[in-house]
Chains A and B, each alone.
Chain A
């Protein structure tokens, strides 16, 4: 495990960050409508001993509005952030928002592949740019830490891991897996990296059909009806496959599935909580729901958390009972074996020396 460095203490404007520190690009949503993703991410990376430092003076990546309007703008806006990270001496940038990750990573590819853009950029940005910074999604990062997470999730502790046996649906959506070149080598149709992280946490990732379907993304405000239709289909499939909550790694997916869920018809079904992957990992590491921002959601997480806690306590009690019973059975078996051995020894002793009474023939009884 790497050394814990206080991310907040890392100097934001340093020319050379300490080795191993990741540049952090929170993006607008994590500073705005989805602060719990930022909170839970910071808590989890600290717990895992991964140091992050926010890119000084970062700007919006342009999201789908720039992508939809102008290709050059959609490359140049994220490129300024990569240039800032580069100037600050970072070699990797963490972009937890799937949309930001997609735009930053796509800009990196566009600059690498298009000589015209590469030549224009220093003038457009008004700063030098060598395109030297690698872009990581939160899932790439957590995947690197999977073994550590699994070990700590399974370690004995005063409050048991609430996630064991809990069924979760890993929802990837679009931007983590498409275009396929940006999916980090995983299958864009049947990605597993988030399922693996969920498994490392002790929970059960369900098999389901909608993991890479679109949630409606940027139409949340301008075409809400489309977003409700897509979200309903996603939630219904997750429920059919037995999921107790959805797990996302994108603030836009979260808004569309959490904030907008109450506007979807639920046919009397209970609402489905939508958790960030960082919140799931945080629970597995024993962090509190408050620290992880689990109280900020529109679909209340409290009923699920309470149920998980009851089941975890029950599981621990059952495991203890089972262990006690096993121990008792083993003791009874041992006693029986010893008694049998004694009887056999007694009989043998009686045969060998029939004339002698042998009250202590067993010896070890």
Chain B
């Protein structure tokens, strides 16, 4: 039995990436190569299945889509050209747009802090990233012991490397509708 809302999700994904996830024949080759497979509740072929069967929210609200490293091993190996990595990209984007994304706290904290640095300076500032990350994730002691080694090797800039065209970068974020 297929509900109309699940057709919408598969169709929506097809509209975004040009591939219908229903063409997946569940061979499992994607999951065999996925480096995060046994840390995730859903392996890639199971994500592909969930997109085409069951309630829309169940597919969009699974944490597994946020444990994807975007390494693209699944898509490179898919014998039927189903592009699981592209499907997962689309799922994340739809989940964010729908306001129902269930991201692990540390992953959300990292991406938000990372993009915030780019919006603020145009380039990544590691110290700013780590401070923002710690405040958001609560992982205050994470990597503290690496700081002296990074500093002594000239690998940590104290001040951000701000570009002249930072207004252009902010314009890009705004025009793409990405708010942090």
Question: Are A33 and B155 neighbours in the complex by a CB distance under 8 Å?
Answer: yes
Check B165 against A59 for contact (C-beta < 8 Å).
Answer: yes
Select which of B71, B126, B143, B169 is within 8 A of A59 by beta carbon. B169
Establish whether residues B93 and A32, one from each chain, have CB atoms under 8 Å apart when the complex forms: no
Tell me the total A-B contact number using a CB cutoff of 8 A: 169
Residues of chain B within 8 A of A127, CB atoms compared: 168
Contacts of B169 in A (CB 8 A): 59, 77, 80
Chain B 23-58 interface mask (CB, 8 Å, partner A; 1/0): 000000000000110010000000000000000000
**Which of B69, B90, B165, B171 has a CB less than 8 Å from the CB of A219?**
B69
Query: Taking A33-B156, A179-B75, A222-B137 as contacts, is the C-beta distance between A69 and B93 under 8 angstroms?
Result: yes
A70 at the interface (CB under 8 A from B): yes
CB-CB nearest in chain B for A298: B149
- Closest chain A CB from B46 CB (angstroms): 19
Known A34-B155, A174-B71, A179-B76; judge A69-B111 contact (CB<8 A): yes
B123 touches A125 (CB 8 A): no
Chain A residues whose C-beta falls within 8 Å of the C-beta of B154 in the assembled complex: 35, 296
A190-223 near B? 1/0 per residue, CB < 8 Å? 0000000000000000000000111011110111
B165 in contact with A57 (CB, 8 Å): yes
Q: How large is the interface on A (under 10, 10 to 19, 20 to 34, 35 or more residues)?
A: 35 or more
Q: In the complex, which residues of chain B have a beta carbon less than 8 angstroms from the beta carbon of A68?
A: 66, 68, 70, 89, 92, 111
Residues of A within 8 A of B123 (CB): 28, 31, 58-60
Residue A138 interfacial (CB < 8 Å): no
Nearest Cβ distance between residue B92 and chain A, in whole angstroms? 6
B164 to chain A, nearest CB (A): 5
Structural contact, A71 and B172, CB atoms closer than 8 A: no
Give the Cβ gap from B151 to chain A, nearest Cβ, in Å. Answer: 11
A64 vs B118: C-alpha distance in the bound complex, in angstroms?
13
Q: With A59-B169, A65-B110, A80-B169 known to touch, is A70 a contact of B93 (CB < 8 Å)?
A: yes
Interface contact B150-A33, CB-CB below 8 Å: yes
Known contacts A69-B92, A69-B96, A80-B169; A28 and B124 CB within 8 A of each other: yes
Bound-state Cα–Cα, A252 to B146, Å: 16
Q: How many residues of B contact A (CB 8 A)?
A: 62
Distance A33 CA – B161 CA, assembled complex (angstroms): 13
Interface residues of B in 135-180 (CB under 8 A from A): 137, 142-143, 146, 149-150, 153-157, 161, 163-165, 168-169, 171-173, 175-178
Residues of A within 8 A of B146 (CB): 259
Contact indicator B165/A124 (Cβ below 8 Å): no
What residues of chain A lie closer than 8 Å to B96, measured between beta carbons? 69-70
Q: Mark A249-266, 1 if CB is under 8 A from B, else 0.
A: 000000000010000000
Interface string of B107-120 (1 = CB under 8 A from A): 10111001101100
**A180 contacts chain B at the CB level, 8 A cutoff:** yes
Q: How far is the CA of A34 from the CA of B153 in the complex (A)?
A: 10
Q: Given A59-B118, A59-B163, A70-B93, A33 and B69 touching (CB < 8 A)? A: no
Asked if A217 and B122 make an inter-chain contact with CB atoms under 8 angstroms apart, the answer reads no
Are A126 and B89 interface neighbours, CB within 8 A?
A: no
Return the chain A residue nearest B134 by Cβ: A221
**Min CB distance, A97 to chain B, in Å?**
11
Q: Which of A277-314 contact B (CB under 8 A)?
A: 296-298
A65 x B70 contact (CB < 8 A): no
Complex Cα gap A180–B75 (Å)? 9
Q: Judging by beta carbons under 8 Å apart, are B39 and A226 in contact?
A: yes
A-B contact pairs, 17 of them (CB 8 A): A32-B126, A32-B156, A32-B161, A34-B155, A35-B154, A35-B155, A57-B164, A65-B114, A65-B115, A76-B172, A80-B169, A214-B73, A219-B107, A221-B130, A222-B110, A296-B154, A296-B155
**In the complex, the 10 A-B pairs of residues with the closest C-beta atoms, listed nearest first:** A28-B124, A222-B110, A214-B71, A178-B72, A65-B114, A174-B71, A222-B106, A124-B175, A59-B122, A73-B176
Given contacts A68-B92, A69-B92, A296-B154, 20 further A-B contacts (CB under 8 A): A31-B161, A32-B125, A32-B126, A33-B150, A33-B155, A68-B70, A68-B89, A69-B96, A70-B93, A70-B176, A73-B173, A77-B118, A126-B168, A174-B73, A178-B75, A179-B76, A221-B143, A222-B137, A224-B143, A298-B153
